[in-house]
Chain A
Amino acid sequence: MNSKTESRAPVSQQALRVQQPFDSSQIGAMVTIEINEKKMQVPLGTTILEACAQNQVQIPTLCHHKDLCTAGVCRICVVEVDSMKTLQAACAFPITQQIKIKTSTEKVRKARRHIIDLLLSEHYGECYTCVRNKNCELRSLASEYGVDGFTFGHPEKRKHDIDKSSFSVMRDMDKCVLCRRCVRTCIDLQEVGVLEAVGRGDQTHITTFMGKPLSEVICINCGQCVNRCPTGALYTNDPSDDIWRAIDDKKKHVVIQTAPSPRAAICEEFGMAAGTSLTGELNTALRRIGFDRVFDTNFAADLTIMEEGTELLNRLKSVVVDKDTSVKLPQFTSCSPGWVKFIEHFYPEYLDHLSTAKSPQQMFGAVTKTFYAQEYNINPEDIVTVAVMPCSAKKFECNRPEMDSSGFKDVDYGLTTRELAKMIKEGGIFLPEMPKSGFDDPFGEASGAGLIFGATGGVMEAALRTAYELVTGREVPFEKLRIEACRGFEGIKQASVKLKNCVPDYTFLEGVDLKFIVAHGTANARQVMEMLKAGELNDVHFIEIMACPGGCLGGGGQPIPTSPEIRKKRAEAIYAEDESMTIRKSHENPRIKYIYEKFLTDGPCGHKSHKLLHTHYTKRGNFIV
């Protein structure tokens, strides 16, 4: 795929380009309009939907999503515009002249009711048994618009089989309302290109290349489509029944690790506003529903920093000192399984750039079934490791055949935030009311560095905190260790840190400007890769890439809905928690020091850690057989 600046989505699905004779923002061109007989001024080019939202007029939407370009296909948002014969879709109509808008006339209400009726007439299944029960946009619309019966019938038979082939994402196309959010997510937002509308007329449906199962195409399992699906047509592969079975099995020792992003977002599943971390409450809840140990993934994140940071320093040394051309720079992070599969599919020739360090989830599984089992004298065969992740791709990752370095399946189950919330509710617990408690030893202590892995730029920031100090012997020169260049939601961030007065081991780095890039979302990853291909990134040393927009906190397993505002709140929660920690750097975590003293005795990137904590990748390519 060529590098390009423009969006590749069909023009009909792109944000509207309104010809403006001048730059309205510069001179502040305003248009006077009337919404429901109330006069107001809006900037030229505002859509009717935006204008209404700014003026507390509710317009129902279905195909519209804040992260995605305009589609205007569901027609639920139609309104009356005085000069037009037909109703206009509020989400797609840019205001360029003085118009009078009516949002709730008889015609409009009838049209909306009809549209919901029509969608229901093609929507197979019952709400009771749906994963999106109580969190379904179609269901909410039906109740808001007083739909009290199936005016145009209700399907009695399935048209499509559920695609359960993927470890991560399940597709039940009989619940699809063809809003095409998933298509715009997959093609436009993530630029992966797995899902598209296929067929025409009443045969139109969303599917993959040649209608193949999801596991056979180039899906990276990021689950962003799941996050944006308004109904239960897309959902993740839920292992909670298996986990309950393991909990109920007295022989099994079930341990759970929780990642920072679910902790910062699970509150949303319990009706709270976004942006409150419920870490302590979650620990209590998990113990109450029967997990034997509750560990902190951040410990493994710290471990990742040690391994990945050391790997970077080793690579630098090989390149700078040994002039070894087989060693590749820049080094890419490998914590995001969506990104790993993305590069395996689309840029397999660059796999040498990918850090061999496993993701925190997998490192955790590997040390749990070895070090922990050994220390606490538990048969690793009886250990069941569960990972609570914000991510659907983690389900695929833990099922990779190479992830068995402990001699067993390192991580047995990947559980998303949503699925965990369901388990907690099933366990009869209202999470926000739980008393707080801490994590269990030996992986109960973690640094703030591990915590900020959840936000885009977090891995970079954590790595810099450690690497800079290892190389120079001093703390990174930023107030409160906030490396602002890594933070924020800009698509691709680029910055550098000068290394001066290095400690003796690292004098070869003296004066080096350590350049790094942070990108999130695979569309941005693609851009970075194309820059790399074009030779523009030869002087860059380290690149962090997260597959999901916003990083893990915007992952495909996080609570629905998602929007830029919600992701911002989650990031704030994560950064606030980091600053409340006493240990803020991975290498200062005493548990990390302990594991390297006791178990991984030959140090980071040593023989033993190579066996347990590092992995290899598959050149998958993007040819679909």
Chain B
Amino acid sequence: METMQIEKTSRKGIVLFSEYVAGSAIRKAVKIGREEVLFELRDSKLKGRGGAGFPTSTKWMITAAASAPKKYIVCNADEGEPGTFKDRVLMMEHPEIVFDGMVIAGYTIGAKTGILYLRGEYYYMLEFLENHLSGMREKNLLGKNIIAKEGFDFDIQIRLGSGAYVCGEETALIESLEGHRGEPRNRPPYPVNTGFMGCPTVVNNVETLASVPHIIMKSGKWFSEYGTDKSTGSKLFSVSGDCENPGVYELPWGMTITEVLDIVGAKNTKAVQVGGASGICLSHAQFNRKLSYEDASTGGSIIVFNESRDILHILQNFMEFFVEESCGQCTPCRIGNVKLLEGVKKLRNGNYTFAEIRNLRELGQTMQVASKCGLGQSSPNAFLSILDNFSAEVFQYTSSDKHNGVNNE
């Protein structure tokens, strides 16, 4: 029986896929000291790579400043966003930068424990990652008195998810770690104040943490020279869909969608979904938009659709995803997504009124502001952007058309 082939290509890239010697950044971080690490991080203007884009240095500084007997660093490897697989590649190909980043984080904020929250779908990585951790322990990069620095104790444990997209939301992830349903908490208080077990906790995306060792080695200023003014450094883009070379690409922030499409070999592209199911769907006219936090923001997912694809079929797929993956806690997200899905089905069989669609559009706007967490707030993005950008196609059906689109297939 064949299993998945673990590709171990020698990728090249400007930051994450550049040269790095395992453990070197930890040594350097300890040499320059906590403050200097935070300063480098601030200079790098590194922002959270999971999608929300919160400045990493701020997160770390708040936690570092908190006086608490215990602090935690959690690496969010619950990569569930449709079309995202960069963390998988990072962890399989470069676990050293991810774990070194965690160790540096632990050192900087004063945490003794790091937790890697690995999504259940990545169970096959567990053994590989555990082996890597054992190797680090042997090399004194984990455990007690790391690199012979007195009092620098830090260890990493891996905890598995069990198939819940919402656990990628940081407070839901913490709830899940604590043994509860993965339901997002009310914020404030934020995890940096009251996180895992009530202790100050930094939750960072895999890619964010993986950027840290490079920043330490090559300075924050170096990092900030890549990308745009507000989106510094590089980004791993997971490209899938209708293109010749799907896969993970490390590109500087600020590239236009057209440029990316060229790189991945996409032809006859009709639409590009930027940011996965919770992102926005752009049409040809918007392909000059730049991939960056300030313009077309993404956690890395880029899905390409060519001219042959039915845009409502795609939208229905996204909405079905949210109906299932909503945690079911808050009203706008739990019921709102069901209503949007019903709306999409109506659009597909032409059995809609414009008044209904207007209501749903407004409902989508309410969901964006009134939902409890990021999942609910971003779940109507695809619906709203497709209605805006593909209105001709969306409203092409009438009930007399024998379109059996409601069928899932």
Judge: A and B partners, yes or no: yes
Residue A550 CB within 8 A of the other chain: no
Assembled-state Cα–Cα distance A563/B8 (Å): 63
Is B359 an interface position by the 8 A CB rule? yes
Tell yes or no: B324 within 8 A of A by CB. yes
Which residues on B sit within 8 Å (CB–CB) of A94? 188-189
Q: How far is the CA of A96 from the CA of B188 in the complex (A)?
A: 10
Mark each residue of chain B from 194 to 231: 1 if its CB lies under 8 Å from any CB of chain A, else 0: 10001000000000000000000000000000000000
Min distance, Cβ B316 to any Cβ of chain A, angstroms: 15
Question: A78-B370, A119-B331, A151-B359 known; A12 and B338 CB under 8 Å?
Answer: no
Interface string of B287-327 (1 = CB under 8 A from A): 00000000000000000000000000000000000111111
> Do A201 and B323 form a contact, CB below 8 Å, given A118-B331, A152-B363?
yes
A202-B334 in contact (CB<8A): yes
| A506: min CB distance to chain B, Å | 52
Contact of A114 among B198, B325, B332 (CB under 8 A): B332
Residue numbers in A under 8 Å from B365 (CB-CB): 110
Contact between A111 and B366 (Cβ–Cβ < 8 Å)?
A: yes
Asked whether, in the complex, the Cβ of B328 is within 8 Å of the Cβ of A201, the reply is yes
Bound state CA distance, A96 and B194, in angstroms? 15
> Which residues of B sit under 8 angstroms from A11, Cβ to Cβ?
174-175, 178, 180, 185, 198
- Contact: A74 with B369, CB < 8 Å? no
Q: Does B83 contact A (CB under 8 A)?
A: no
A118 with B335: in contact, given A11-B178, A73-B329, A202-B323 (CB under 8 Å)? yes
Q: Are B194 and A17 within 8 A (Cβ)?
A: yes
List the B side residues contacting A87 at CB < 8 Å: 369-370
Q: Is the interface of A mostly helix, strand, loop or mixed?
A: loop
Q: Is the CB of A114 within 8 A of B362?
A: yes
Contacts of B45 in A (CB 8 A): none
Contact of A111 with B339 in the complex, beta carbons under 8 Å: no
* Docked complex Cα distance between A12 and B198 (Å): 11
- Does B278 belong to the interface (CB within 8 Å)? no
**Residues in A neighbouring B189, C-beta threshold 8 A:** 16-19, 94
Check B335 against A12 for contact (C-beta < 8 Å).
no
Whether the Cβ atoms of B332 and A202 lie closer than 8 Å is no
B368 at the interface (CB under 8 A from A): yes
Interface positions of B from 358 to 409, Cβ below 8 Å from A? 359, 362-363, 365-366, 368-372, 377
The CA of A111 and the CA of B338, in the complex, are separated in Å by: 17
Taking a contact as CB atoms closer than 8 A, the residue among B185, B324, B326, B377 that contacts A12 in the complex is B185
A12:B184 contact, CB within 8 angstroms: yes
Q: Are B366 and A12 interface neighbours, CB within 8 A? A: no
A122 within 8 Å of B (CB atoms): yes
What residues of chain B lie closer than 8 Å to A362, measured between beta carbons? none
B188 touches A201 (CB 8 A): no
> Is B79 part of the binding interface, using a Cβ–Cβ cutoff of 8 Å?
no
Q: Give Cα distance in the complex from A10 to B372, angstroms.
A: 16
A197 within 8 A of B: yes
The A57-75 residues at the B interface (CB cut-off 8 A) are: 70, 72-75
Interchain CA distance A18-B362 in the complex, whole Å: 34
User: A86 vs B186: C-alpha distance in the bound complex, in angstroms?
Assistant: 13
Min CB–CB distance B67 → chain A (angstroms): 10
Interface string of A182-218 (1 = CB under 8 A from B): 0000000000000001011111100000000000000
A107 at the interface (CB under 8 A from B): yes
Centre residue among B330, B336, B369 by max chain A CB count within 10 A: B369
Whether the Cβ atoms of A202 and B185 lie closer than 8 Å is no
CB-CB under 8 A from A453, the residues of chain B are none
Q: Does A566 contact B (CB under 8 A)?
A: no
B198 adjacent to A202 (CB under 8 Å): no
A360 to chain B, nearest CB (A): 41
Asked if B193 is an interface residue, CB under 8 A from chain A, the answer is yes
Q: For residue B325, which residue of chain A has the nearest CB?
A: A201
Question: Contact at B331–A75, with CB atoms within 8 Å?
Answer: yes
B186 / chain A contacts, CB cutoff of 8 Å: 12, 16, 70, 72, 89, 92-93
Which residues of B are found within 8 Å of A152, using beta-carbon distances? 335, 339, 359, 363
B170 at the interface (CB under 8 A from A): no
**Which residue on chain B has the smallest CB distance to residue A117?**
B363
Query: Closest CB of chain A to B307's CB: distance in Å?
Result: 33
Asked if residues A10 and B183 are in contact (CB atoms below 8 Å), the reply is: yes
Given the contacts A19-B194, A201-B334, A118 and B188 also touching, CB distance less than 8 Å:
no
* B179 nearest CB neighbor, chain A only: A10
Q: Which of A78, A117, A121, A201 is close to B326, meaning CB atoms less than 8 Å apart?
A: A201
Query: A115 at the A/B interface (Cβ < 8 Å)?
Result: yes
Q: CA A93 – CA B339 in complex, angstroms?
A: 28
Q: Mark A84-122, 1 if CB is under 8 A from B, else 0.
A: 011101001110100000000001001100110111011
The docked-state distance in angstroms from the alpha carbon of A70 to that of B185 is 10
Q: Which of A495-516 contact B (CB under 8 A)?
A: none
B371 touches A202 (CB 8 A): no
Q: From residue B69, how far is it (CB to closest CB) to chain A in Å?
A: 14
Chain B residues contacting A74 (CB-CB under 8 Å) are: 330-331
CA distance A94 to B322 in the complex (A): 29
What separation, in Å, do the CA atoms of A12 and B339 have in the docked complex?
Answer: 26
What separation, in Å, do the CA atoms of A21 and B335 have in the docked complex? 40
C-alpha spacing A70/B329, complex, angstroms: 13
**Is B337's CB within 8 Å of the partner chain A?**
yes
- Name A204's contact: one of B180, B188, B328 (CB within 8 Å): B328
Q: How far is the CB of A279 from chain B (nearest CB, A)?
A: 43
Partner of B370, one of A12, A75, A117: A75
Instruction: Determine the distance from Cα of A94 to Cα of B190 in the docked complex, in whole angstroms.
Output: 12
Q: Is the CB of B326 within 8 A of A200?
A: yes
A200 adjacent to B359 (CB under 8 Å): no
Does chain B have a CB within 8 A of A178?
Answer: yes
B164 within 8 A of A: yes
Nearest-neighbor residue (CB-CB) of B184 within chain A: A12
What are the interface flags for B114-126 relative to A under an 8 Å C-beta threshold, 1 for contact and 0 otherwise? 0000000000000
**Given the known A-B contacts A75-B371, A92-B186, are A12 and B171 also in contact in the complex, defined by CB atoms under 8 Å?**
yes
In the complex the two chains form, what is the Cα distance from A73 to B327 in whole Å? 11
CB-CB under 8 A from A17, the residues of chain B are: 189, 194, 198
Q: Which residues of B contact A85 (CB under 8 A)?
A: 369
Interface pair A111/B336, CB less than 8 Å apart: no
Task: Determine if B149 is an interface residue (Cβ-Cβ < 8 Å).
Answer: no
Output the residue of A19, A119, A122, A199 with the most chain B CB within 10 A.
Answer: A19
Residues of A within 8 A of B194 (CB): 17, 19
- Report the Cα distance A178→B334, complex, angstroms: 10
User: In the complex, are the beta carbons of A122 and B335 less than 8 A apart?
Assistant: yes
In the assembled complex, which residues on chain A have CB atoms less than 8 Å from the CB atom of B368?
86
The one of B175, B183, B328, B372 that contacts A203, using a Cβ cutoff of 8 Å: B328
If A11-B185, A73-B372, A197-B181 touch, does A121 touch B330 (CB 8 Å cutoff)?
Answer: no
* Beta-carbon contact of B188 and A93 below 8 Å: yes
B335-A121 in contact (CB<8A):
yes
Complex alpha-carbon distance, A110 and B358, angstroms: 13
A202 touches B359 (CB 8 A): no
| A65 shortest CB reach to chain B, Å | 15
Interface members, chain B 153-197 (any A CB < 8 Å): 164, 166, 171, 174-175, 178, 180-181, 183-186, 188-189, 193-194
- The CA-CA distance from A89 to B194 in the complex, in Å, is 19
**Partner pick for A86 among B174, B193, B369, CB 8 A cutoff:** B369
Find the B residue at minimum CB distance from A203. Answer: B328
Residues of A285-313 whose CB lies within 8 A of B: none
- Nearest Cβ in chain B — how far from A119, in angstroms? 6
18 A-B contacts (beta carbon < 8 Å):
A11-B198, A73-B330, A74-B330, A75-B331, A89-B186, A94-B188, A114-B362, A117-B363, A121-B335, A152-B335, A178-B331, A200-B164, A200-B326, A200-B327, A201-B323, A201-B324, A201-B325, A202-B334
Known: A76-B331, A110-B366, A201-B337. 10 other contacts (CB 8 A): A75-B332, A75-B372, A89-B186, A110-B365, A178-B328, A197-B181, A200-B328, A202-B323, A202-B324, A204-B329
Chain B residues packing against A (C-beta within 8 Å) = 66, 164, 166, 171, 174-175, 178, 180-181, 183-186, 188-189, 193-194, 198, 322-332, 334-339, 342, 359, 362-363, 365-366, 368-372, 377
Which 8 A-B pairs give the minimum distances between C-beta atoms?
A204-B328, A92-B186, A12-B185, A118-B335, A111-B370, A114-B366, A72-B186, A201-B326
